[in-house]
């Protein structure tokens, strides 16, 4: 994962006559946690959709110098970008271990016939991936609920399962879309611990959409602020959160 660097350079996007992004530029470097913040409707999730290949903006988006524009979402994922979603998006009927294992589908190299016949090579491949999932479950404090169905878990734990599934792909960059939304204070603290373990244990760069400004101030290395589809500020948390333009955007001054 070393050397990972995403650059978003001057992207703009309009839907009909509505300009939703206007010349947005940001970047994230090795092992960096970049918080992407802004009022509702500022364009944060739209930026994620552009990076993920769901939208095709004008401008440039590059991962380690390789252009992502024009690539389909599965192609962007194959290049190393994983994403979590606000509502978990994990099938409720799946067990936790199977849900996380499903996140490794792009990395599983198994001949269907060998798998059907349970040949030694297929068994070794299955054991390798299950061992990787076991490591992730421990990282995410999910080992105790590994065999439970996702739907039987508290909402905050379901969101941690969604994060674990994204991490199972061994991405080069992780996009976190409001991971603390809808969580209790205790669940927020668990999510914060997971974000920091991911950063320090895996050295994984992340872009993090978040509305909890206390979490942002405590955890982020750097903050990028959007307002009405434009970049408003970028820098260390203490400087950005004291910026009068940022305060005005949030408070309506």
- Digit-by-digit pLDDT tens for the chain (253 residues) are 445 589 999 999 999 889 999 999 999 998 999 999 998 889 999 999 999 999 999 999 999 989 999 999 999 998 999 999 877 678 889 999 999 988 876 555 555 544 555 556 656 666 666 788 889 999 999 999 999 999 999 999 999 999 999 999 889 999 999 999 889 999 999 999 999 999 999 999 999 999 899 999 999 999 999 999 999 999 999 999 999 999 988 766 5
How many CA atoms, within 13 angstroms, populate the side-chain half-sphere of residue 200?
A: 9
* Interhelix angle 185-202/155-168, nearest 10 degrees: 20
Model confidence, pTM = 0.87
Q: Which CATH class is domain 6-80+171-251?
A: alpha beta
Domain with CATH 3.40.50.300 in the chain: 6-80+171-251
What lies within 8 Å, CB to CB, of 218 at 6+ separation is: 192
Tell me the C-alpha distance between 250 and 38, whole Å: 7
Half-sphere exposure of 252 (CA within 13 A, CB side): 1
How far are the Cα atoms of 164, 180, 197 from residue 91, in angstroms, in the given order? 14, 19, 25
Distance CA 117, CA 59 (A): 50
Q: Quote the CA–CA distance of 150 and 159 in Å, as a whole number.
A: 10
């Amino acid at each position: 994962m070393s050397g990972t660097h995403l650059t978003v350079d001057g992207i703009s996007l309009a839907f009909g006559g509505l300009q939703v992004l206007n010349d947005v530029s940001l970047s994230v470097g090795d092992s960096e946690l970049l918080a992407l913040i802004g009022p509702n409707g500022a364009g944060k999730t739209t930026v994620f959709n552009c990076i993920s290949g769901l939208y095709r903006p004008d401008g440039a988006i590059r991962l380690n110098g390789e252009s992502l524009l024009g690539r389909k979402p599965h192609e962007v994922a194959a290049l190393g970008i994983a994403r979590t979603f606000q509502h978990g998006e994990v099938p409720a009927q799946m067990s936790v271990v199977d849900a996380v294992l499903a996140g490794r589908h792009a990395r599983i190299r198994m001949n269907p016939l060998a798998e059907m016949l349970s040949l030694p090579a297929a068994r070794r491949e299955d054991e390798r991936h299950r061992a990787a999932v076991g490591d992730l479950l421990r990282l995410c404090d999910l080992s105790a609920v590994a065999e439970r169905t996702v739907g039987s878990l508290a909402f905050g734990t379901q969101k941690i399962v969604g994060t674990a599934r994204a991490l199972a792909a061994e991405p080069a960059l992780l996009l976190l879309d409001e991971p603390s939304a809808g969580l209790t204070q205790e669940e927020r603290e668990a999510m914060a611990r997971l974000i920091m373990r991911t950063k320090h244990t895996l050295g994984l760069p992340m872009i993090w959409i978040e509305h909890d400004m206390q979490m942002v101030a405590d955890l982020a290395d750097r903050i990028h602020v959007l307002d009405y589809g434009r970049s408003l500020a970028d820098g260390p948390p203490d400087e950005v959160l004291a910026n009068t333009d940022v305060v005005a955007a949030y408070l309506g001054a």
